[in-house]
Structure 1
Amino acid sequence: MQSKFCCNRQCLFILLGIILSFVASLADAEETHYHEFVVQRKVVNRLCNRRKIITVNGQFPGPTIVARNGDKLVIKVTNRASSNISLHWHGIRQMRTPWADGPAYITQCPIMPGATYTYRFTIENQEGEWWDRDINAVMRRALFSGAAPNVSDAYTINGQPGDLYRCSRQGTMKIRVNSGDKVLLRVINAALNQQLFFSVANHKLTVVEADATYHKPFTTRVIMLGPGQTTNVLLTADQPPARYYMAARAYATGRNNPFDNTTTTAILEYKTARSRSSSRPVLPQLPAFNDTATVTAFTSQLKSIPSNAKVPTNIDESLFFTVGLGLVNCAPGPRCQGPNNSRLAASMNNVSGVLPNTTSILQAYYQNIPGVFTTDFPPSPPVKFDYTGTVSRALSQPTFGTKLYKVKFGSNVQIVLQDTAIVTTEDHPIHLHGYHFFVVGQGFGNFNPKMDTSKFNLIDPPVRNTIDVPTGGWAVIRFVADNPGVWLFHCHIDSHLTWGLAMSFLVENGIGKSQTIEPPPADLPQC
């Protein structure tokens, strides 16, 4: 969204790998905007090689949509790529129209090559990784072997790795400023598998927004974003005229997990420093890859604006979800490359999510198609144990299924998200489709309802749609289930989602048309 802080000043996207971006301003007038997107492959030069990548209208990052709060968007998407695609819109609310949410096999079947689908929704307040190989091949190999996918070869800022990588100096993104300029940076992490630190050398960042929601401003030198998270920061060009690196690199918490330990850069250049363009920019001091203390210090400062914080207090659905990795026994061979004759899996409450392949879950629900899903997702772990301590191998193997949790319209929902140490404790960015939620508490170790509930922030808790559950810890979120439909709830680390770290909520219809799911559009993709 276009911030009120941005008037007559520079507003810039810092996209740590992204497909599409929105700029939405607050205004009373409501308009309908029509766009056509063509998803297609395009050859680009990166890291000394020519690669085909997926683009939107030939662009990477993709086009920016400019809209106001309350505006309606009609986006016709044509798939001219060689594989199925679907688009999910972060920070958008699809009230009564969950058909526009986007995740394949949840709210729609994917858009097949040559096919078209039109997304329709309303704006409501509305960094990346690079593999020097075909990304689909990377994922297929990981799924075949049962091991983690190969780490990326680079991170990117606005699609460019930056001049610390080979063959990348010429394409490095540059932002030119005058002394005294105030710049709004919209930082988005769209990396597939990695949380990222971001900083600008010698400059302070004033955080004003997170996940498309205004927050109380605070100043920091570094921010951390999980995949799918967004943060708006204000930067004042108040340093001696020179060239300064903007940089991002990994925050990685899984024990012994390989990760891309490189640094991506862009350049903040003062216009009066152009004569020194050959000089090496100043590099910011980014935290160590495992600096959880810095992450905790950053996230603890996020506070919502109290006038916007209508936190549910009378809880109708009190849920406890364990989240983490697991292991599935398998016969030794090329498809069994996990530890001790196993394949990696992931789960919530020991259920590893399985996607249907004949229809979407939402379509099956709306049209009463049997045999696609069940509504018996457990509200708490089937077995209680020391979640962050030493865990028995007997607890490592999940069950598999397409299980939903049914919620009545208007219910006040609380979810305790508990990390586990079954394979390794790890920071998990958990995303809820269709909603924003209040983060009323976070901590380390096992959640203790007697001690930790009394520490909840019910006054000005941060509002997010993606929450990083602390490594070896817990987070508690609350929301009002006032958006009917089927909504995916999953880890935003792509490999974890593929392994099954996901479930879905089925929010029932309420009373009347305004609380009821609209019929599916005529061009809804078929499987």
Structure 2
Amino acid sequence: MAALPTGMAAVVEHTFVVSQVNVTRLCKETLVTLVNGQLPGPAIEVTEGDSVVVHVVNRSPYNMTIHWHGVKQRLNCWADGVPMITQCPIMPSRNFTYRFNVAGQEGTLWWHAHVPCLRSTLHGALIIRPRHGAASYPFPKPDKEIPIVIGEWWDMDLAQLDRNTVNGVLVDVPTGSTINGKLGDLYNCSAASASEGAVEQEDGFVLEVESGKTYLLRLMNAALFSEYYLKIAGHTMTVVASDANYVKPYATAVVAIAPGETMDVLVAADAPPGRYYIAALAIQAPEPDVQVPLTITRGIVQYTTNVDDVPAPVMMPDMPNQHDTTGSFYFHGNLSSLRRHRVPARADEHMLVTLSLGSVCRDGGQSCARSDSDESIIVGTMNDVSFRAPTAAVVSLLEAHYYRRDDMAAAAGVELRALPDTPRRVFNFTDPAYIPYGPKEAPLEPTEKQTMVRRFRHGAVVEVVFQDTAVMQSDSNPMHLHGHDMFVLAHGLGNYDAARDVASYNLVDPPLKNTVVVPRLGWVAVRFVADNPGTWYIHCHFDFHLSMGMVAVFIVEDGSTVDTSLPPPPDDLPKCGSNKGGLDLPPVEFFYLQNEQSRETVPGK
């Protein structure tokens, strides 16, 4: 970091070398893709108002982008890091430098690859501290701050995991869960170097604390597949922020955190000196949803006071039931903003967006067998349409939009369709009878794949009600909007009813979030101001839902002044394909392109 006088903004510079490394877990060596050989990757620590410069050197065999999750990128959509939406990807053996600032934000965010499934190992913390130091926190100053990343370990090729998901093969599950990249002592294997029959335990995360001190845990969920409950035996946590927005302090024994979310919690080291487990348990929907093995991991909170006298046994917290999804519902419902914001009293645009599964015919036709038949592929949908990613593109969607190309669709390699205000089909969205494959759900499956976008004029107030459905599954859905924070006005179980539910809207102190958990068989109402011009991804942060197409793009138009209009792209923005129509590859091959030489072109103006 450049040395500057106290109170002045600095330039924080990093180099991220993306490469493949052999990592041994569970007595098995797995080739994984990492930044600088680290898992989690390097933490970026800055002060509000600083500028960030990250040189990405792609030594992996995959096309690559990095997304700075939760950074608003004001007038800087070019740095948002979504392949073919905001930029062409960084091809193997190529470099690109991301430049952005963090003005007007403070708290815990994170970064991750925006390449299907690779964010499982390509992620790290992005911590923004207050300009005037920790003394200006709106809560007691902690003695120490600890980033904690909940993740998953997969002992399979992550590119193959994505290919399986895109092709409707939904049988893969993680090998285990991790805290800061470590599996913990619940996992073991035969020790190759030990005597026959010996067992070797995996290393676990250890947090050393001193009696009487307070710790700020910066929690991030980087998992691909699961929301998690987190508990510390013998201790209470106080939630003070979420998604880099302060909330009214909320004391709780358990935190629920979904993929994409961050939670800042204070923990006082006020228990008798000893060793206590910190445990993370994956939540899954109950039957009749398809069940997968229980996934849990744990580390240790260890008091350093009189450490020689600490008893050997470790206390394990009493964890919630893995199928108790109502715990997450009430946890998120207890969050409210610490600071009063000017919540728009009325919305200019209203949308009801259903989040569901559907199916398309494997041969591209309109008629085929459904209900998990080999003739069809299961896809994720928003308002009954599955997202088709641009692939055979000359430029990204953002470049096509910026240069006002008349042939925007042709340049992007896709035909753009408008995301409708309401779903095509109206039924009892949350009827559990639709969960199992069979004659009742089959008529609701047929859908299509389109590149769905929705345009908003600059400054429009947009209200979206996300409605979960029971079609073929009943997962919750952590919906992440790039480039904006959303006011979470209300949420509920069952079907949204405007006549009943608008009266429950919190227009006084709703929490501001970039990732909103739509509860299982329920709904959530959000409102945001579309005042950041660009092409912004809106998607479920479960990676299997993302790969399956639970995605759309919100296009925010320029305002009437230079200060409300998107500047030109950086000169070194990566280029796509060739002037003859780009790479023209299927989506998975495009993102996992190996040993292909780049063919550069200059986007048309």
TM-score (norm 2): 0.79
Q: Secondary structure of the equivalent of 1:403? A: strand
**Partner in structure 2 of residue 505 of structure 1:** 554
Q: How does 1:279-298 map to 2 (within 5 A)?
A: 279-298=312-331
Equivalent of 1:57 in 27, 36, 50: 36
**Partner in structure 1 of residue 379 of structure 2:** 345
In percent, how many aligned pairs have the same letter?
39
User: Which whole-Å deviations, capped at 9, do the CAs of 1:71-92 have from their partners, x for residues lacking one?
Assistant: 1111111111121221111121
Distance 1:63 1:165 in 2: 25
Distance 1:329 1:111 in 2: 32
Equivalent of 2:449 in 391, 400, 419: 400
**Partner in structure 2 of residue 318 of structure 1:** 350
**Partner in structure 2 of residue 521 of structure 1:** 570
Q: How does 1:213-224 map to 2 (within 5 A)?
A: 213-224=245-256
User: Which whole-Å deviations, capped at 9, do the CAs of 1:403-422 have from their partners, x for residues lacking one?
Assistant: 21000000111001001112
Greater C-alpha radius of gyration: 2
Are 1:270 and 2:308 matched, yes or no?
Answer: no
User: Which whole-Å deviations, capped at 9, do the CAs of 1:368-398 have from their partners, x for residues lacking one?
Assistant: 1432342522111123222112555222222
How far apart are residue 277 of structure 1 and its match? 6.9
Q: Secondary structure of the equivalent of 2:67? A: coil
Distance 2:32 2:322 in 1: 28
Q: Secondary structure of the equivalent of 1:88? A: strand
**Partner in structure 2 of residue 156 of structure 1:** 178
Equivalent of 1:472 in 514, 521, 535: 521
Distance 2:61 2:308 in 1: 46
Task: Give the conservation status (yes or no) of the 8 Å contact 1:91–1:125.
Answer: no
User: Which whole-Å deviations, capped at 9, do the CAs of 1:166-203 have from their partners, x for residues lacking one?
Assistant: 15746212111111110110110000111111111110
Task: Give the conservation status (yes or no) of the 8 Å contact 1:211–1:230.
Answer: yes
**Partner in structure 2 of residue 383 of structure 1:** 425
Distance 2:202 2:476 in 1: 35
User: Which whole-Å deviations, capped at 9, do the CAs of 1:448-483 have from their partners, x for residues lacking one?
Assistant: 000000011111111111111011110000011110
**Partner in structure 1 of residue 47 of structure 2:** 68
Unaligned stretches of 5+ residues in structure 2? 1-5, 108-149, 190-199, 435-440, 577-605
**Partner in structure 1 of residue 147 of structure 2:** none
Q: How does 1:99-138 map to 2 (within 5 A)?
A: 99-123=78-102, 124-126=105-107, 127-138=150-161
Task: Give the conservation status (yes or no) of the 8 Å contact 1:227–1:493.
Answer: yes
Relative to structure 2, which stretch is displaced further, 248-257 or 273-282? Answer: 273-282
Task: Give the conservation status (yes or no) of the 8 Å contact 2:461–2:530.
Answer: yes
| CA 28–475 in structure 1, closer or farther in 2 if over 3 Å, else same | farther
Task: Give the conservation status (yes or no) of the 8 Å contact 2:239–2:264.
Answer: yes
Task: Give the conservation status (yes or no) of the 8 Å contact 1:153–1:260.
Answer: no
CA RMSD of aligned residues (A): 2.0
Q: Which amino acid aligns with 1:118?
A: T
User: Which whole-Å deviations, capped at 9, do the CAs of 1:316-372 have from their partners, x for residues lacking one?
Assistant: 0111101121123447xxx99962443211100111001101232112212314323
Equivalent of 1:461 in 497, 501, 510: 510
Task: Give the conservation status (yes or no) of the 8 Å contact 1:117–1:523.
Answer: yes
Distance 2:443 2:369 in 1: 18
Q: Which amino acid aligns with 1:159?
A: G
Are 1:44 and 2:23 matched, yes or no?
Answer: yes
Distance 1:378 1:449 in 2: 18
Distance 2:66 2:217 in 1: 24
Q: How does 1:3-14 map to 2 (within 5 A)?
A: none
Q: Secondary structure of the equivalent of 1:451? A: helix
Q: Which amino acid aligns with 1:343?
A: I
Task: Give the conservation status (yes or no) of the 8 Å contact 1:336–1:343.
Answer: no
Task: Give the conservation status (yes or no) of the 8 Å contact 2:289–2:474.
Answer: no
Distance 1:152 1:269 in 2: 28
**Partner in structure 2 of residue 23 of structure 1:** none
How far apart are residue 46 of structure 1 and its match? 0.9
**Partner in structure 1 of residue 470 of structure 2:** 421
Are 1:226 and 2:226 matched, yes or no?
Answer: no
Equivalent of 1:370 in 408, 411, 414: 408
Q: Secondary structure of the equivalent of 2:408? A: coil
Distance 2:543 2:416 in 1: 24
User: Which whole-Å deviations, capped at 9, do the CAs of 1:37-64 have from their partners, x for residues lacking one?
Assistant: 1111222221111222222122111111
| CA 273–142 in structure 1, closer or farther in 2 if over 3 Å, else same | farther
Equivalent of 1:206 in 219, 238, 243: 238
**Partner in structure 1 of residue 165 of structure 2:** 142
Distance 2:185 2:311 in 1: 13
Q: Which amino acid aligns with 1:280?
A: P
User: Which whole-Å deviations, capped at 9, do the CAs of 1:80-109 have from their partners, x for residues lacking one?
Assistant: 112122111112111111011111121112
Distance 1:463 1:495 in 2: 26
**Partner in structure 1 of residue 216 of structure 2:** 184
| CA 510–460 in structure 1, closer or farther in 2 if over 3 Å, else same | same
Distance 2:347 2:160 in 1: 45
| CA 63–519 in structure 1, closer or farther in 2 if over 3 Å, else same | same
Equivalent of 1:261 in 267, 290, 294: 294
Q: Which amino acid aligns with 2:397?
A: I
**Partner in structure 1 of residue 9 of structure 2:** 30
How far apart are residue 148 of structure 1 and its match? 1.1
Are 1:482 and 2:535 matched, yes or no?
Answer: no
Relative to structure 2, which stretch is displaced further, 364-373 or 156-165? Answer: 364-373
Task: Give the conservation status (yes or no) of the 8 Å contact 2:247–2:337.
Answer: yes
Q: Secondary structure of the equivalent of 1:89? A: strand
Task: Give the conservation status (yes or no) of the 8 Å contact 2:165–2:547.
Answer: no
**Partner in structure 1 of residue 126 of structure 2:** none
Are 1:354 and 2:385 matched, yes or no?
Answer: no
Q: Which amino acid aligns with 1:187?
A: L
Distance 1:256 1:355 in 2: 28
Task: Give the conservation status (yes or no) of the 8 Å contact 1:128–1:159.
Answer: yes
**Partner in structure 1 of residue 188 of structure 2:** 166
Distance 1:276 1:360 in 2: 61
Distance 1:165 1:193 in 2: 19
**Partner in structure 1 of residue 3 of structure 2:** none
TM-score (norm 1): 0.90
User: Which whole-Å deviations, capped at 9, do the CAs of 1:20-40 have from their partners, x for residues lacking one?
Assistant: xxxxxxx95222222211111
**Partner in structure 1 of residue 71 of structure 2:** 92
Relative to structure 2, which stretch is displaced further, 472-481 or 278-287? Answer: 278-287
Q: Which amino acid aligns with 2:322?
A: F
Relative to structure 2, which stretch is displaced further, 91-100 or 376-385? Answer: 376-385
Q: Secondary structure of the equivalent of 1:224? A: strand
Distance 1:101 1:349 in 2: 25
Unaligned stretches of 5+ residues in structure 1? 1-26
Q: Secondary structure of the equivalent of 1:418? A: strand
User: Which whole-Å deviations, capped at 9, do the CAs of 1:186-226 have from their partners, x for residues lacking one?
Assistant: 11000011111111111000000001111000100111111
| CA 46–366 in structure 1, closer or farther in 2 if over 3 Å, else same | same
**Partner in structure 1 of residue 494 of structure 2:** 445
Task: Give the conservation status (yes or no) of the 8 Å contact 2:79–2:100.
Answer: yes
